[in-house]
Amino acid sequence: MHYHIVHISGDTEFEEKQEEFLSMGRDKQQLIKLISQEMVMRGCKAFQAEGDTDVHITKAAVNSAQGNSTILIGEDTDLLVLLLHYAEVNSKPLYFKSDNQSRGIRKVFNINNLKSILGSELCIQLLFLHAFTGCDSTPHIYGVGKKTVFQKLLNCDRVLHSCASAFTLPGKNPADIISLGSQAMAVIFGDNSTSSLAALRCQTLTKKVVTAK
């Protein structure tokens, strides 16, 4: 399938389907560049991120909060977790606001207060919790929600706490990561031992077979 190359400017009137236009990387980049230029002309700061955009967005909001009250508007849970990780409690007020309304109400999170309540250590461990239980780049664990794992961290589960802290340290080799992941997975499914994943699967299957009988 062939697409026409579209050259756009501020005066361009486009009558085709939005999805088809935005599906083409070159066209999307033209539009982003145009919007950025228009924002700068109106006194706004605009950043075009390369790589992980969520991290760039979060860091831009955190940097802005060093001197001004800042609101980051979005829906992605990744942004909320990253804000709690990078934010500084003593900065200017930093908020995360939902762009969607539920019953006419938009959710607003005060990041400074949340981080103060949760503590810096738990906010660092949230990176592990969020990635381990499913995010944009990792699938979620079947039958296990984020709330369950978060509650275990709040209750200071020794094994899970140790795994979450170790995962954030640089220089871990693959063998250590596999071992820590196995321990964390065992705890999530109610086994406080250091079972291997193979042993854990066997135990789970045995319980289901016994229950089925």
pLDDT, averaged in runs of 10, over the chain (213 residues): 59 67 67 81 76 83 92 87 90 88 77 91 84 71 75 78 80 80 77 63 74 58
Dihedral angle, C-alpha 160, 161, 162, 168, nearest 10 ° = 100
pTM exceeding the 0.75 threshold for the entire prediction: no
| 72: Cβ contacts below 8 Å, ≥ 6 apart | 57, 58, 61, 79, 83, 94, 95, 96, 97
Using CA atoms, how far residue 127 sits from 114, 163, 179, 201, in Å, is 15, 12, 18, 26
Write down the pLDDT at residue 105.
73
Write down the pLDDT at residue 45.
76
Write down the pLDDT at residue 1.
47
Q: What angle do CA 188, 191, 194 make, to 5 degrees?
A: 100
